[in-house]
Structure 1
């Protein structure tokens, strides 16, 4: 009996092993087949970081990188970032149990891979961030019905999204952003997904249409990214049913009206991005969305005050409200937020002081509040937690000493405090070599005092302390310094002789100090130097011949010093646009290349200088060769010289008296009328005294332009640009109209991308327009005169793109936000000016016209503008509307992209026609691009902007886009500086990270 029970137990126990033995050959065969399929996959795609480690000698393919197995069979392939180029092979679906496929972030350029229809168990498909192109197939629903995750983002898919996209019953994640889909939003189809949790349609050129109200049915959504897709109208109330939302991004659309109350009262919302729309009215005061982590509602038209309710959102890390019309003070409660790291409120109308506790209770890292009316002192605990890396508070009315927490704020990288009323000693620890992060310090136009250490930190790239009260010797400069400005301080001692450490410097300004000693003979090592200003010091000795090595030198001012000796002959090698050696003790012959009228005012009050002939510079004697003469002849010469000197003395006295009377008359402030458009810290006399030839920097269409430092340290002086239009008896009526047009337009405009007109000064003799000074000149210089201005190299693509966007913003404001609209009529690279950060502003409005009746063309009796930029209808019909600016801007884009000048079209007459023919005959290729932007990472974007430029320069005005549309398109390419990456950064799963583009 026992043996029988034992036998039964043995049979029962051994049964699974028997079954396993029968199925084992099948498993072995399947494993062998999968092994071979994977090796064929490696052979098809070639070597890559992961596939290179797949070995044919190893049978354990389930341990290979990128492979996931379940119960010994392959169920997942994850091969992102492998530089694949070839399409997905059909053999991949021979892996019958494959449920997960990820080949994102490769270079696959093929149509949609319909061979995946045969992967019958596929649940997860990610082919994002490749170069897949063409239309999505109408039968895309032939993909397995088991599909839960479909990611097609960041490719080149075009056309409409087919209705069949809505036929996946289990789909939880649909990511279609950053393609070129057009047509209408697939609202009705997508709204059928009962289980959908994540949806992205952003950055696609859909036909403008109102917000899809149907999306209110997607009640399980946690992630909704719909930016840059031409949504119009208001946010519908139906979206209030999306109670599970964690992220809502509707930025860079055409939304308007009020931000709905339900958004500010959402219980689960953490990330809110609504920037770049037209939302108006005030922000909801009753804020109960207390789980918010990031808020960005910048670049709208919001009014009213900042709600105190923001101070209750204890998880808030980021608060962006910049470029709005907010007023009032910043609530003190904001300073108590425990997690706040980044606050940006610049370009509003805020007043009062900063929250006194700001920075003390949170890891504050970035503070940007420039262009407001804020006052008082910076909070004492601003860098209390030692996380602060950027302080941008320029153009306010702050005063007092800097907070003690900045002393030793070692993470600090960027300090921009200029144009305020700060005083006291600047923290010496910020000059310390230990502070190896700090690279940009711009504190000009304040009342700081203090001294420098022996050597500045290696990491400094830009230092501007002009118009303060710093004293002591000049520090040794070394490292990455590009710009050093210390004009109008109390610095003394000699210029350091060792200049090898700053061989990359572009601008060096020590004018208006107490510098003594001689110029370093090592000056020639500064071969990238573009501008050197040392006027108004006590520098003596000879001018070093080393200047001849600085072939890119554009501006040189050594005036009002004690320099002696001859001007080196090496100056003949230089192509200077501005030179001032006046009021020194120089002798000898002026170098021949400088003996022309361009430098007529460059050598005044150097009685020992002479010229080679009477046909060169006036008021200088002719140089004579030395000869041996007898004493009698010598006496005769002495007598003759004495007689001539007496005559010259008499004539000089008379001329001097006349000039003195003329100068007195010119500077008689009672005869000048000042019309201010902003708060000024200078007087009429400050401007008039600076309108002289040594300050001349160029000529516009209707007058000369001067660079003038106006005001003094105590009153907050500043560098300005002065355009002078003479108004003598033979005044040209056209110039008079230009003057009135520019004053009328610029005096009323307030926009960050339009050059600011500070005031107007006029008299019976002359008219002056005083602008903010743009330090980097014009876009034309940087594109076409790089050698002349000493540019270290061509502008890179991100800088060019930002310049294009800034310029487009200025024109968009004129066309779409001014009432009545304004047409510039002379858009060109020379009228796009660049500040110290290469941010662009539109300038020279002498040709601008206001369209008195919106939508009407206006006719003019004469053509005005610049050859190469004028739209064809403007030259033939004298018709003016906003589309002539769009044409001109298109030419500017072509210059930015190709590096060619506007009227350089060869046999095709102009650049616009050349571009059109190239586009028609040869299509898009890297050969179209300027050599400075042929980096493979930017070629694609640059060529797409080239296409936009061709569209803008179309012959028919009705076919050109509006400036608003142009701006929206350009913003799409600004992927590194927009919030596209930021909005994806905070997703709640690893899948979201793969979406970053």
Structure 2
């Protein structure tokens, strides 16, 4: 199995070839003992040694299998039958050995294998067969961002102790294998950014131990989730689902509402239709992202009852309508609310205890909201981003209101029916927040705002203010 070091993982003056042989012993033409390696190379070897776990009842000879070139650089490691009981927990230790050309891990009982960021170039199913043959007791298989471009072979079925399968950021170009369901112990499956295509095998949701499922950024992965089995609600450990940037369609299945342990749900950038489902059963939910789908209808506040841990809600770029769900503004942990590019209308209800809220991002732009602008938008003292453009808010905003948001970096109020009163004295506005972006297009400014001390501003639009 040939592996090339990733350019972005460690910065070196030159890019060196790097190979790993899992189950064969390579012929080494130049063999020097460990003592003849350079001092920095010996230090790196000791770091690698410390990252491995050995059978404590058996003596090991890691430094006996070292191969160096004439310049003293480590070029080979033979760890065959070294009784390694746990895998390489820190792949950066391997990457630091920039001249390494071969590594033999055969005949060990290693349980965790982390090779993330190392570029693997193989043909066919060689990498699967090599790992399955050499490390039959493997529990964690993590080879993300390794430029794999070959299929996932059924030889992996020999690894019946697998708990985690992390193959993201590769170019697998395959249909998701159905044989994954045979791994009856695994709890994490990550195949993000792997050029998967075709329908996703729904039988994977029958694996009772499943905790994390990440299929994100596979735009050719498609199908409807409507036929997900009712048994998905029995997945008591399922806590993270990321299906973002795929091509799934149809309605979001009702069975999702029963996932009581759900912490993270990202279904953004798909083609889901229908209405939003209640998620109040997921009391531990911290993140929900439904951005850029074709969802419609109201968003009832009752759908979010009791979600005291919710920190991020992203419903933008859909066709939701009705009133904005007022209850979400009072969630004690909520930091980001993004509802832009929808059809929300009417007035926005007042917020209670905004000064105590951790909210740092509020984006209600490009909706049909109306009514007098109120000070409650400016009560969230931790706001970094406040975007209200392209609505029908009316009334007058005093610059002193903006002054109270000392953490504010981006403010968009354009294209409403607003007026900005900038008549306050410059001394009174001396502590105006240091904005980076300010858009007050068509806000009836009668006086240029006090921006002379705005050293961080890089985008300013005050056009059509007359």
TM value normalised by structure 2: 0.78
State the SS of the aligned residue for 1:280: strand
Question: Secondary structure, in 3 states, of the residue corresponding to 2:350?
Answer: coil
Contact between 2:411 and 2:437, CA under 8 Å: does it hold in 1? Answer: yes
Q: Who is 1:218 aligned against?
A: 207
Q: Which residue of 1 aligns with 2:321?
A: 327
- Tell me the distance in 1 between the aligned counterparts of 2:313 and 2:427: 27
Pairing 1:369–2:356 present: no
Whether 2:450 is the aligned partner of 1:456: answer no
1:407-422 correspondence runs (5 A): 407-422=403-418
Q: Which residue of 295, 305, 310 maps to 1:302?
A: 295
Distance (whole Å) between structure 1 residues aligned to residue 185 and residue 440 of structure 2? 55
SS in 1 for 2:197: coil
1:193-592 matched pairs, under 5 angstroms: 193-209=183-199, 211-229=200-218, 230-235=220-225, 236-238=227-229, 239-285=232-278, 287-308=280-301, 309-357=303-351, 359-378=354-373, 380-402=375-397, 406-426=402-422, 434=431, 437-450=434-447, 452-453=449-450, 455-468=452-465
**Largest Rg, 1 or 2:** 1
Change beyond 3 A, Cα 1:336–1:453: closer
1:116-135 equivalences under 5 Å are 116=105, 118-135=106-123
2:190–2:214 contact (8 Å) kept in structure 1: yes
The CA distance in 1 between the partners of 2:434 and 2:112, in whole Å, is 44
Preserved CA contact (<8 Å) 1:334 1:355: no
Change (3 A) 1:108 1:247: farther
| Aligned equivalents of 2:34, 2:372: Cα separation in 1 | 69
1:41, 1:89 within 8 Å by CA — same for their partners in 2? Answer: no
Report the CA distance shift for 1:74/1:306 in structure 2 as closer, same or farther (over 3 A). Answer: farther
Structure 2 counterpart of 1:926: none
Shift of the 87–279 alpha-carbon distance from structure 1 to 2, 3 Å rule, reads farther
Counterpart in the other structure of 1:882: none
Separation (CA, whole Å) in 2 of partners of 1:323 and 1:90:
53
Work out whether residues 432 and 456 of structure 1, in 8 Å CA contact, stay in contact via their aligned partners in 2. Answer: no
Cα deviation digits, residues 658-710 of structure 1 (max 9, x gap): xxxxxxxxxxxxxxxxxxxxxxxxxxxxxxxxxxxxxxxxxxxxxxxxxxxxx
Q: Give the match for residue 104 of structure 2.
A: 115
Tell me the distance in 1 between the aligned counterparts of 2:406 and 2:35: 52
Q: The residue matched to 1:303 in structure 2 has which SS?
A: strand
Q: CA deviation at 1:157?
A: 0.3
Q: Describe the SS at the equivalent of 1:376.
A: strand
Cα distance between partner residues in 1 of 2:342 and 2:427 = 29
CA shift digits 1:115-139 (9 cap, x unpaired)? 33x1512111100122223344152
Q: Secondary structure at the match of 1:339?
A: coil
Larger strand fraction of residues: 2
Q: List per-residue Cα deviations over 1:233-279 (Å, max 9, x = no partner).
A: 22132234422111001111221111111212310001000011111
In 2, Cα distance between equivalents of 1:263 and 1:430: 55
> How does 1:611-760 map onto structure 2 within 5 Å?
713=466
For residues 919-957 of structure 1, what are the alpha-carbon distances to aligned partners after superposition, in whole Å with 9 as ceiling and x for unaligned? Answer: xxxxxxxxxxxxxxxxxxxxxxxxxxxxxxxxxxxxxxx
Mind listing any 5+ residue stretches in structure 2 that lack a counterpart? 1-30, 64-72
CA distance in structure 2 between the aligned counterparts of 1:89 and 1:378, rounded to whole angstroms: 69
- TM-score of the aligned structures, taking structure 1 as reference length: 0.38
The number of equivalent residue pairs is: 412
User: 1:147 is matched with which residue?
Assistant: 138
SS at match of 1:334: helix
Q: Residues 433, 71 of structure 1: CA spacing in aligned structure 2 closer, same or farther, 3 A cutoff?
A: farther
> 1:134, 1:156 within 8 Å by CA — same for their partners in 2?
no
- How big is the shift at 1:174? 0.7
C-alpha change, 1:40 and 1:371, in structure 2 (3 Å) is farther
Residues 430 and 244 of structure 1: is their aligned pair in 2 closer, same or farther, counting only changes over 3 Å? farther
1:177 is aligned to 2:171: no
In structure 2, distance between residues paired with 1:160 and 1:270: 31
Tell me the SS of whatever aligns to 1:351: strand
| 1:360–1:333 Cα change, 3 Å | farther
Q: Deviations over 1:746-773 (max 9, x none)?
A: xxxxxxxxxxxxxxxxxxxxxxxxxxxx
Q: Is the 8 A contact 1:319 1:344 kept in 2?
A: yes
Q: Aligned residue for 1:97?
A: 84
Q: Which runs of 5+ in 1 are unaligned?
A: 1-36, 56-60, 78-85, 469-712, 714-997
The whole-number CA distance in structure 1 between the counterparts of 2:300 and 2:35 is 59
**Aligned to 2:268, what secondary structure does the other structure show?**
coil
Within 5 Å, give how 1:868-907 maps onto structure 2.
none
Shift of 1:96: 2.9
CA distance in 2, matches of 1:41, 1:92: 18
Question: Would the aligned equivalents of 2:120 and 2:146 in 1 still touch at CA under 8 Å?
Answer: yes
Alpha-carbon distance in structure 1 between the residues aligned to 2:384 and 2:280: 30
What is the CA–CA distance in structure 2 between the aligned matches of 1:153 and 1:41, rounded to whole Å?
A: 34
Task: Measure the CA separation in 2 of the matches of 1:202 and 1:41.
Answer: 43
Give the CA deviation at 1:371: 1.3
- 3-state SS of 2:375 partner: coil
CA contact (8 A) 1:429 1:435 kept: no
Q: Deviations over 1:640-675 (max 9, x none)?
A: xxxxxxxxxxxxxxxxxxxxxxxxxxxxxxxxxxxx
Say which structure is richer in helix: 1
SS in 2 for 1:102: coil
Contact 1:166/1:192, CA 8 A, preserved across alignment: yes
Shift, 1:425, TM fit: 1.8
CA drift at 1:335? 1.6
| 1:388 CA displacement | 0.8
Output the CA distance in 1 between the equivalents of 2:216 and 2:427: 41
What is the rounded CA distance, in whole Å, between the counterparts of 1:380 and 1:71 in structure 2?
A: 66
Deviations 1:418-468, CA, capped at 9 Å, x for gaps: 111222424879996655642111112112445544832211112222333
Pair 423,154 (structure 1): closer, same or farther in 2 beyond 3 Å: same
Change (3 A) 1:184 1:378: same
